[in-house]
Chain A
């Protein structure tokens, strides 16, 4: 019996190298060496949107679309969206902006309400929070009409579209734009990212969605992990370029990679 399942050896190596370098950078940050990161515009945009909502006295919507907790490909962006929600809810509590978080899945709903509850507690503004009106469970599908109707009647002024976005992306962003809201959108689903990029005022593409949570964290070891992810990109670029050159001169390394 082989020690490692056949066809997955290189996968394991890649996983170990990437997670290893992430841990390495986190450790390094722990001892004070923090890598310099490019500024991500979205970091400032959150405050800008919430500030605008306070100024106009209108609510901000935090929408996550599909929030399945049992489908791995949706779970990851959902967890990322929760991390950003924790920050956004806290800023909303701090600035005193009205805030609305509809969630379409039961488990995610319990998490979201706890996240928002904790955020308001952290700012000592529990008395301003009506949890059952701020975080609301809406059956998946029925949320579309509810949110469109309320976007118009609330005249919301700001919206966040973060998470795993499917067809609702264009429905909500276009309505929000027509209502006149300022928007930040971001997702890793390839088929609906175009609408978030085209319609929203600011957008996060793919990996940036995961990175934003780390950017927002005050814990330097968290943001340092992004430097580890960059190592993965260098590896990918190197493998592609090197592999292509080798294959051009007649050496095929594809077999090696799918070992």
Chain B
């Protein structure tokens, strides 16, 4: 077997090791490069910023352990953003794990809140917790919250929560923020809340899902979207609250460059091998 063939059939474990090094290195030795704001992030931020003070907003927390490092910093900053505008927040999640991570986001955000901003559980925000049933569950929740939830995430009966007094369906909200992470659940919100109730919505998804939702953005069903860690980093930047997302955005540089290098290398070798094969 020639060197060329060996390189073309490179043992996959060598590639894995290279990738580990490329991604771990920038974390241990951070390097910050300049960046510009993407249009979708700006649109989403402007939409959130335009929500009238004092209104009530519905937030789906769909981040998991895997997606929290990307979306979490953005969600935390958004909670701070909203509470500073005196916007009331109603959270819910369509997964059990994501419901727990939503609590983490709320706690982290409250810790970062400037002094003097009201953030009382039950008055300024409430977490309705896990709503099972995926899209059917979302539909049921949007039609009649009390039909699926009798208590919030922490076990407080819904009738004892002041914020929930006048709220029982999707049309009671001024907007929806759908932090879908990688759930692929943004269409649930579009189909079960935006289409039937006409409530405007924006959201967050992982970078890979952005193109799937661009049709919804073009048709006006979604007001921009926060895409992955870079979207979060941009929200942090727009709020002037730099955090974890900005650092990670830089580490993707190295992984991306390695990937591009490998693809180019694979093709160059492939063409050389094909030419040699053709000469034989």
Residues of A within 8 A of B (CB): 68, 70-74, 166-167, 178, 189-191
Contact = CB atoms under 8 A, between A and B. Distances in A.
B184 interface: yes
Contact of A74 (B134, B208, B212): B134
Q: Which 6 A-B pairs have the closest CB atoms?
A: A71-B134, A190-B212, A71-B135, A70-B133, A70-B136, A191-B209
B193 to A, nearest CB: 15
Contacts of B136: 70-72
19 contacts: A68-B134, A70-B135, A70-B136, A71-B134, A71-B136, A71-B188, A72-B136, A73-B187, A73-B188, A74-B134, A166-B184, A167-B182, A189-B184, A190-B212, A191-B184, A191-B208, A191-B209, A191-B211, A191-B212
Contacts of B182: 166-167
Contacts of B187: 73
B50 interface: no
Contacts of A166: 182, 184
Contacts of A70: 133-137
What secondary structure prevails in chain A residues at the interface with B?
loop
A74 B212 CA distance: 16
Nearest to A7: B195
B147 interface: no
A73 B136 CA distance: 10
What secondary structure prevails in chain B residues at the interface with A?
helix
Interface residues of B, number: 14
B12 interface: yes
B208 to A, nearest CB: 6
Given A178-B12, A191-B208, A191-B212, A72 B184 contact: no
Contacts of A189: 184
Contacts of B137: 70
Contacts of A72: 135-136
Contacts of B188: 71, 73
Given A71-B134, A72-B136, A190-B211, 19 more contacts: A70-B135, A70-B136, A70-B137, A71-B133, A71-B136, A71-B188, A72-B135, A73-B135, A73-B188, A74-B134, A166-B182, A167-B182, A178-B12, A189-B184, A191-B184, A191-B208, A191-B209, A191-B211, A191-B212
Nearest to A166: B184
A70 B182 CA distance: 18
Contacts of B133: 70-71
A116 to B, nearest CB: 26
Contacts of B12: 178
Interface string B162-191: 000000000000000000001010011000
A72 B133 CA distance: 10
Nearest to A66: B184
Nearest to B183: A166
Contacts of B135: 70-73
Nearest to A164: B184
Interface in B197-226: 208-209, 211-212
A191 B205 CA distance: 12
Nearest to B205: A191
A68 B184 CA distance: 13
Of B182, B184, B187, chain A has the most CB atoms within 10 Å of the CB of B184
A167 B211 CA distance: 16
Contacts of A191: 184, 208-209, 211-212
A43 to B, nearest CB: 29
A70 B133 CA distance: 6
Contacts of B209: 191
Interface string B20-60: 00000000000000000000000000000000000000000
B178 to A, nearest CB: 15
Contacts of B184: 166, 189, 191
Nearest to B198: A7
A72 B182 CA distance: 18
B113 to A, nearest CB: 34
Nearest to B208: A191
A238 B182 CA distance: 35
A108 to B, nearest CB: 13
Of A73, A189, A191, chain B has the most CB atoms within 10 Å of the CB of A191
Of A72, A166, A189, chain B has the most CB atoms within 10 Å of the CB of A72
Contacts of A68: 134
A237 B51 CA distance: 39
Contacts of A167: 182
A114 B84 CA distance: 56
B272 to A, nearest CB: 22
A167 B184 CA distance: 11
Interface in B71-118: none
Nearest to B185: A71
Contacts of A74: 134
